[in-house]
Copies of this chain bind each other. A is one copy, B any other.
Amino acid sequence: MNPQPAITSTAALISDPARAAMLMMLVDGRARPAGELAYTAGVSPQTASSHLTKLLEGGLLCVEKEGRHRYYRLAGPDVVSLLKHLALFGPGEPVRRKAPNREVEHLHFARCCYDHLAGRLGVEMTKAMLGRGYLEHGDGKAFAVTPDGAEWFAHLGLDIARITPGRHGIARKCLDWTAREHHLAGPLGTQFMAQACTLGWFQRPPSTRAIEVTPKGWRALKRYLGLDRRSIDQRSDAG
């Protein structure tokens, strides 16, 4: 009996949630490095490497090396077309493995990046501060703290006049590559993080970089920045 044409092998490649996530990340036509694909797919670099090899061998991806980086992209417009065809096909939820590596969701949401707050929460906090006029865009890689901002931080126990500036001032912009937007870093970001822990808003479990927001923390975020869990989740889903 003749074996099926490649429909089973192509379909099998796409059927894994991690591989599908990586493919869909690439639908916009841009190349992305392996580490980023691993991170977004929620798997370890080793797992991602194994999956990327399969996608390469199956003709769905191609790769370009640049130093130690490996940039992957979809192999051609026929792959884009196929993925869109599958995406447009009827409703449904994944029937295969459960979402891998649950800690990654925490890391996406809120994590510690060099002692400041990163992840979606970090980004949304930063946007709220900008929206309320506590921060504004400075030159280059810095935010500027406004007078209102200085007062707001003081209210939380942070005297910005006493913070030693770093190379980019006290409020450095750090590009969060999960949300692909900037969050507050630098000395102010670090001290804000520490103060939030002292105030009991955040907790840092010893074994991970994920940050836990306590109930008290949620109340504070609501009060001081108008942020709550649901609105942050909705913004990320719409994104």
Contacts and interface: CB of A to CB of B under 8 A. Distances in A.
Contacts of A78: 89-90
Contacts of A8: 14-17, 20, 94-96
B12 A95 contact: yes
A92 B60 CA distance: 11
A161 interface: no
Contacts of A15: 8, 11-12, 14-15
A212 interface: no
Interface string A2-17: 1111111111111111
A11 B20 CA distance: 10
Interface string A170-209: 0000000000000000000000000000000000000000
Contacts of A81: 85
A21 interface: yes
Interface residues of A, number: 45
A89 B54 CA distance: 16
B90 A59 contact: yes
15 contacts: A1-B108, A2-B237, A6-B90, A7-B14, A7-B20, A7-B83, A8-B16, A9-B94, A10-B89, A11-B11, A54-B95, A78-B89, A78-B90, A82-B85, A82-B86
